[in-house]
Structure 1
Amino acid sequence: MRLWSLHPKYLDCKGLVALWREGLLARTVLKGETRGYRNHPQLERFKNQPDPVVAIDTYLLNVYKESQLRGYKFNRGKIGDKFTNYKIEVTRGQILYELEHLKRKLDVRDHVRYLELENLDIPLINPIFKVVEGDVEPWELVH
């Protein structure tokens, strides 16, 4: 499971579809409707919010909006109708780690998209997040 902090606009089509699918799985976990993935480290920042389901729905709404811009037909009915205005902190180190991780994936999977991002140094993030100073997040499994 990878719940990117980066803005979904940077993902290729496979990445965006996977993010939607994995985000919906995360939502199911946060609602307590499945036994698997309950301790997945990518869920920590959502679990720590006042309402984890509203937080993941807000995250997924931003993924959904990107899908609409691309003409995809993601099912909006799979997420709720309550969203939050608060921001979840994410460290600059995490953003930079994810950017390099995504570039490596795209270099193999979608070289044209990789070339578009190759020289990107300061990426946009999913609007639910706000960047704070710091290293890679402790929940990240660094490879």
Structure 2
Amino acid sequence: MRLWSLHPSLLDRRGLVACWRETLLAQKVLRGQTKGYTRHPQLTRFRRMVDPVASVGAYLAGLADEADAREFTFNRGLIVVPPSVAVPPARMTVTSGQLDHEWAHLLVKTEARDAAWHAHVVAAERRPHPLFDVVPGPIEEWEILGD
């Protein structure tokens, strides 16, 4: 399971679709609807939020926004708690070290599977998913190194 801290616009087609599917699985886990992945470290940051399901819903909305921009069809009806304009989602943080780690990981993945997208990513501005604010710090303690 890889729930990227990077902005969805940096993910190649395969990465964006995989992130959507894996985040839908994360939503099920956070709702207690599955026996698997319940201790997955990527869920730590969502569990720290006051409303983990709403937070993962806001994360999914960011992915769906990017899918819309690329004219992909992601079913927003699968988002259990979609973000509301009246009640914006609580912001989450990601460390600069985590973002750097994920950037390096994404470069390796895109280089191996899509040379054109890799060139696009290398030239792009590194930025976080719209839900995250970047704070100074090392790689997050929940990150599994070597994935």
Would the TM-score normalized by the shorter structure come out above 0.5? yes
Secondary structure of 1:49's aligned partner = coil
Q: Provide the identity percentage.
A: 44
Quote how far apart the aligned CAs of 1:117 are: 2.1
Secondary structure of 2:59's aligned partner = helix
**Counterpart in the other structure of 1:15:** 15
Distance across 2 between alignment mates of 1:128 and 1:58:
7
**Counterpart in the other structure of 1:77:** 77
Using the TM superposition, name which of 123-132 and 79-88 deviates more: 79-88
Question: 1:70-111: CA deviations, max 9, x gaps?
Answer: 111111100034424321111000000000000000000111
Task: Give the partner amino acid of 2:112.
Answer: V
- Aligned with 2:116 (options 89, 112, 117): 112
CA RMSD of superposed structures (Å): 1.2
Distance across 2 between alignment mates of 1:81 and 1:44:
19
- Is the CA contact 2:55–2:89 (under 8 Å) kept in the aligned structure 1? no
Task: Give the partner amino acid of 1:103.
Answer: L
- Aligned with 1:134 (options 113, 121, 137): 137
Alignment of 1:38-57 (within 5 A): 38-57=38-57
- Is the CA contact 2:53–2:81 (under 8 Å) kept in the aligned structure 1? no
Quote how far apart the aligned CAs of 1:118 are: 2.2
Quote how far apart the aligned CAs of 1:119 are: 4.7
Distance across 2 between alignment mates of 1:25 and 1:117:
26
Unaligned 5+ runs, structure 1: none
**Counterpart in the other structure of 1:92:** 96
Q: In the superposition, relative to structure 1, how do residues 138 and 81 fare at CA in structure 2: closer, same or farther (>3 Å)?
A: closer
Task: Give the partner amino acid of 1:125.
Answer: P
Task: Give the partner amino acid of 1:15.
Answer: G
Distance across 2 between alignment mates of 1:96 and 1:119:
15
Distance across 2 between alignment mates of 1:36 and 1:15:
22
Quote how far apart the aligned CAs of 1:115 are: 1.2
TM-score, normalised relative to structure 2: 0.92
**Counterpart in the other structure of 2:67:** 67
Distance across 1 between alignment mates of 2:23 and 2:40:
12
Count of paired positions: 142
Unaligned 5+ runs, structure 2: none
**Counterpart in the other structure of 1:124:** 127
Task: Give the partner amino acid of 1:85.
Answer: P
